[in-house]
Amino acid sequence: MMSCSICHRPHHPKKLPFLCAVDARNRLYETRVEYARALMENEDVERRVEAALAAGGNGSEGVGLGLPPGVGVGVGAGDGAGRGVGSRVDVVVEEEKRKSAELDRLRADEEAARDRTSQIIAQAEKLRAEMEAVRKEIAARKDAIARRRSDLDSVSKGTPVRWARQLKEAEQAILRQKFMWHRSADAMAATRVFLCESSARLYGLRQVKKGSSKRYEIGGVEIVDLHAMNTLSPEVISTSLAHVVHILVLACHYLGLRLPAEITPPHADYPRPTIFSLASSYRHGPVPFPGSLASQLPPSAAGGGGVSSAAGDLGDEQQRVPRPRPLFIDKPLPVLARDDPAAYSLFLEGVALLAYDIAWACCSQGVVFGDRDSHDDVCNMGQNLWRLLIGDQLHRRSVEPTSFPSAASLTPPGGGSPRNETASAAANPPKSILGRWSHATLHSFLGDAEGVAFVRGFKLLPPLKLADELKKRLSSEAPMLEWEKIECGELLEGEEFEDGVLLVRNGSGGSVAAAAASAGRGAGREDLGVGAGAGAGASAGGSSGSPAPTRGTSGWTRLKSR
């Protein structure tokens, strides 16, 4: 197979089956052969015609026209011979015309072929230019690929070392960030401890030791013992609980804690503290103060709505509003239990929830207060609150003077990895100090998985069990009111008190003891509001004109408890 004269590439039937030059030459080959044959025939006819015309009348026309020798074409010959020669000349002329037309056709075909050849050549030049551009582009791409391959080879030679260096730098940056985070959390914990302890001391929270007994005061008032509330006045109980609520809410604000039982401190239109149950805490809107006019109205009326709603809708709305437990009383606890058992139960549940909140706060800060399953230890609010805010820090400072890391010890690690740091942290876990765990920061967050698992490990007695046990103890320790207590304002005419004994004048001017109220007890005298010898002078006189008392109407009278 011949090669192309334009691109000089050999023809291949499979790889390069269509080459521009070979294809053009193959299409023009037969036309060129026919054109050459037509030219040769045209030249032969022209030569013969010129020879015949040049011979003229000398008898050589026949030779020029292909006639036999000796035959002329002259005009002066006989008629028969002239007519024969003329017919032959006509045939030659017709043949010449036919060949001339064929020649013109061949020339036109030649011009068309020349035009097609020029177009093919132009297309070939265009293809040659495009091929040259493609060759240059391929060469440029090859150079770029070779250059990138060399760069990749040069870069890949130090890739493991560079990767190891970058990984080490990333680990060092992570360690530095963790170190700064831990140091910030420790500084924040120290600030929380200072704020809690300072506020507790300013509020007057202290421990008073007298022999082997300990009692706790806050704001100049002794923190009530929940098991001894039967003997305390309602003012003392309410004031003590108000102080405890105030300092507890303030400390939880500093520590960033959200207590399980929501406490509502006194504020505008809410004069006294209350507490919600665990189920209704942080799941309600504004709640009116218990006993106020707004609490007695339906929620729609209290919120300014119309009165056109149905009774069933009002009942549903009232059920959605939780009922806070009061942390105050207006009557002595035995009187409250006798007059209003529902309010008595709500108050005991409220103080049990308050004790549970204090114990839960101690557990969240790692403060040990005794047995968590013990009712006495959980309900000892004064001791637990003092340990939470003051006592635990005093103990830690006396035993471990460096409970908080110093600035010199807080140096960033020089090496290692997060894995090594995790392993060292697991081997030496951080101490649970006051202020570390909270709901306000992501560091040691009580709401994440670790914090939830930490809270689940408290295992405190439920508030309902605390309230039931407290109610049982208070009921068992309540005084048996076998004698009716009569105040001075309830005396009838002729009745007077003398040393706690009610004296009734008789007709003879004497006096008969009608009721007594344990005169030998000083506390009983204070509860009755009378002193020793009260009314002694008033019992001396009498009216001699009064009739004698009837048998069975005077003397000692035992009254049952109401």
Mean pLDDT of 212-235: 91
Range among 225-229, 320-324, 414-418 rated most confident: 225-229
Mean pLDDT of 226-238: 92
Number of Cβ within a 10 Å radius of residue 526: 11
Instruction: Please report the pLDDT score of residue 223 as a whole number.
Output: 94
Nearest in space to 381 (alpha carbons), one of 194, 203, 234, 248:
248
Instruction: Please report the pLDDT score of residue 319 as a whole number.
Output: 53
Amino acid of residue 266: P
More confident residue, 368 or 361: 361
Mean pLDDT of 537-547: 37
Q: Would the pTM count as exceeding 0.85?
A: no
Instruction: Please report the pLDDT score of residue 72 as a whole number.
Output: 44
Contact 451, 437 (CB under 8 A): yes
* Mean pLDDT (the chain, rounded): 75
Instruction: Please report the pLDDT score of residue 19 as a whole number.
Output: 57
More confident residue, 185 or 547: 185
Number of Cβ within a 10 Å radius of residue 407: 8
At 497 the three-state DSSP class reads strand
Nearest in space to 324 (alpha carbons), one of 346, 345, 307, 302:
346
Residue 21 scores a pLDDT above 80: no
- SS3 readout for 71-135: CCCCCCCCHHHHHHHHHHHHHHHHHHHHHHHHHHHHHHHHHHHHHHHHHHHHHHHHHHHHHHHHH
What pLDDT digit, counting tens, does each position of 375-415 carry?
899 999 999 999 999 987 787 777 665 544 443 344 444 44
Instruction: Please report the pLDDT score of residue 503 as a whole number.
Output: 52
Instruction: Please report the pLDDT score of residue 417 as a whole number.
Output: 42
Q: For residue 498, what are the contacts with CB-CB under 8 A and spacing of at least 6?
A: 511, 533, 534, 535, 536, 539
Instruction: Please report the pLDDT score of residue 40 as a whole number.
Output: 92
End-to-end CA distance of the chain: 135
Full DSSP string of 153-174 = HHHHTTHHHHHHHHHHHHHHHH
Q: Which of 134-148, 234-248, 386-400 has the lowest mean pLDDT?
A: 386-400
Residue 509 scores a pLDDT above 60: no
Mean pLDDT of 211-237: 91
What pLDDT digit, counting tens, does each position of 273-326 carry?
999 999 999 988 888 877 665 555 555 444 444 333 434 444 444 457 788 999
Instruction: Please report the pLDDT score of residue 14 as a whole number.
Output: 67
Nearest in space to 459 (alpha carbons), one of 356, 352, 353:
356
Mean pLDDT of 132-138: 95
Mean pLDDT of 102-112: 91
Amino acid of residue 309: S
Q: Which of 254-263, 301-310, 320-329, 529-538 has the lowest mean pLDDT?
A: 529-538
Instruction: Please report the pLDDT score of residue 117 as a whole number.
Output: 92
Range among 93-97, 158-162, 248-252 rated most confident: 248-252
Instruction: Please report the pLDDT score of residue 288 as a whole number.
Output: 81
Residue 525 scores a pLDDT above 60: no
Q: Which of 51-55, 123-127, 275-279 has the lowest mean pLDDT?
A: 51-55
Contact 73, 61 (CB under 8 A): yes
Which residues face 275 on adjacent strands?
Answer: 263, 325
Q: For residue 117, what are the contacts with CB-CB under 8 A and spacing of at least 6?
A: 24, 28
Confidence of residue 151 (pLDDT cuts 50, 70, 90): confident
Mean pLDDT of 337-365: 93
More confident residue, 502 or 438: 438
Alpha helices in 400-555 (DSSP H): 418-427, 449-456, 463-476, 522-528
Q: Which of 26-40, 307-321, 425-439 has the lowest mean pLDDT?
A: 307-321
Instruction: Please report the pLDDT score of residue 490 as a whole number.
Output: 53
Range among 149-153, 250-254, 538-542 rated most confident: 250-254
